[in-house]
Every structure is written in structure tokens, then in C-alpha cells.
């Protein structure tokens, strides 16, 4: 007996809930597509990210296959060569539904502005309405993946700016009422003569001279822990004992 309309809606809803941006694209895809497999009773899946060159020619990079080791892997990956190689043709060609062997159907669907998703299902094929309904979910998955891509690009750019800045930068976190070093840039480590590994987790105050440490205890801690920012002269002491005055 085919599933009822209410069951189909519930299935699509549960897949939608599983589509959330994660730390990276692979984790984002795997969390979502594993739910596709479970809720749609599919046997395997593969996701591809497309990359276009200046002329609009596409290459298709495998993001993940599920299950990781499966007899269906070859059937999933073979579609990479059959996917469109032109950026302007991807949406017009997909989706593609085909019976790859008796009782096994393959669904190749677009992830708009990101890539493509391939599902394999044994037994009863998905009905046409379900396949059409997946389009909106695939758009949501593509949006989540692209958001992760952009976020990671921003984080990489920020990291490069932070690391290569010509001035000293240090990030701290509250730890037992003190400010502990969570990260610092190259200028900070090279100026003070310590490695990043030596500094991470250490109280920032330990790098100050006694006078600056006392000033920090009097007012600096409270300001920093309450989110108030200002400028105050602080004097660091390097590994060799030299004093470095900063703001």
C-alpha cells in the first residue's frame, strides 16, 4: 500500500529538520542525506559539488557517499561522468530517474548553485509527487552547503588577516575569574618570544609586569569580563625579560 499524504508530509518534514549548516560541507551533507536514506528507504546516496571554470565548464567533486563502504558505490559514482559539463545545462537536464538494474532506481537531482544529489532505491520506486517534493528540500540543502562554504571562506580570510597583522593580537576567555589566552597571532608570539602552544591556556596576566598586573586586577578584569572595552597602557615582559609597552 502506498504511503498516505500525511505520511509523506511527515517524511518530508523530518528530512527538512535534518538540513542544518554544520562545521563543514561534508558534515552538513552527511547529516541531511543520512535522513534522506532513512526516511525514503533508499539504499545509497552520493553528493557532488560542482566547480565552474571561466568558460562555464563544470567539474564534479564527490562530497560524500553513504553508506561509506557499500556495494552501491560504483552505481553512485558512475553518474559523475554523466552529469552535465556545462553550467547552463545542469538545471535543464535534472532530475533524471532511471532503472539501473531490475528493481533498483537511481535519482539524480540538482542541488541548485551547489551540485547534485544521487539516490539509489531498491524495490518500489519513489512516486513522481515525492520526487517533485524533494526539489524544495534539495534547495534547502544546497543553501545550507553554500552558507558553510561562505562561512569557511570568511573564517579563512579572518584567520589570514589576524595571523599576518603587523601588530600584536591576543584573544582571551574567562576561566575561573581570570583571562586565559585562547589564541594569539604571530606578532604576539614573536614579540614576546613564546610559541603559540606555550601561550594557549595561560593567564594573560602572567605576561605582564607586576605594575600592569596590579592595574589589571584593580579594574581591567571587571571591564573585560563585563564586555567593556577601552584603551589602557599595559607593559608585557618578554621571555628574555625586555619590557614591551602596548595599549
What is the rounded CA–CA span in Å between residue 36 and residue 45? 9
Q: What is the pTM of this model?
A: 0.73
- 206 vs 115: CA distance, rounded Å: 51
Q: Is 134 exposed, middle or buried (0-12, 13-18, 19+ CB in 10 A)?
A: buried
pLDDT attached to residue 112: 92
Residue 224, pLDDT score: 57
What string of pLDDT tens digits covers the 247 residues of the chain?
A: 566 788 889 999 999 999 999 999 999 999 999 999 999 999 999 999 988 888 777 788 989 989 865 556 666 665 556 666 665 556 666 788 989 889 999 999 999 999 999 999 999 999 999 999 999 999 999 999 999 999 999 999 999 999 999 999 999 998 887 889 999 999 999 999 999 999 999 999 999 999 888 877 776 555 655 556 556 788 999 999 999 998 7
Q: Return the pLDDT at 67.
A: 85
- Backbone phi, then psi, for 104, in 5-degree steps? -130, 120
Amino acid at each position: 500500500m502506498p504511503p498516505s499524504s500525511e505520511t509523506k508530509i511527515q517524511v518530508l518534514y523530518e528530512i527538512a529538520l535534518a538540513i542544518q549548516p554544520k562545521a563543514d560541507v561534508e558534515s552538513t551533507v552527511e547529516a541531511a542525506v543520512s535522513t534522506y536514506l532513512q526516511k525514503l528507504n533508499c539504499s545509497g546516496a552520493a553528493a557532488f559539488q560542482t566547480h565552474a571554470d571561466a568558460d562555464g565548464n563544470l567539474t564534479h567533486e564527490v562530497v560524500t557517499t553513504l553508506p561509506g563502504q557499500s556495494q552501491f558505490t560504483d552505481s553512485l559514482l558512475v553518474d559523475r561522468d554523466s552529469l552535465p559539463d556545462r553550467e547552463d545545462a545542469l538545471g535543464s537536464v535534472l532530475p533524471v530517474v532511471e532503472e539501473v538494474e531490475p528493481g533498483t532506481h537511481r535519482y539524480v537531482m540538482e542541488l541548485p548553485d551547489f551540485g547534485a544529489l544521487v539516490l539509489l532505491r531498491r524495490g518500489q520506486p519513489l512516486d513522481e509527487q515525492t520526487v517533485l517534493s524533494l526539489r524544495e528540500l534539495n534547495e534547502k540543502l544546497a543553501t545550507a552547503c553554500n552558507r558553510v562554504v561562505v562561512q569557511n571562506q570568511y573564517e579563512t580570510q579572518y584567520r589570514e588577516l589576524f595571523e599576518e597583522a603587523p601588530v600584536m593580537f591576543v584573544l582571551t576567555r574567562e576561566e575561573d575569574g581570570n583571562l586565559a589566552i585562547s589564541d594569539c597571532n604571530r606578532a604576539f608570539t614573536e614579540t614576546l618570544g613564546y610559541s603559540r602552544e606555550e601561550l594557549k591556556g595561560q593567564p594573560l596576566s602572567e605576561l605582564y609586569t607586576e605594575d600592569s598586573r596590579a592595574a589589571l586586577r584593580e579594574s581591567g578584569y571587571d571591564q573585560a569580563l563585563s564586555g567593556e572595552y577601552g584603551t589602557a597602557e599595559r607593559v608585557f615582559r618578554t621571555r628574555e625579560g625586555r619590557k614591551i609597552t602596548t595599549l
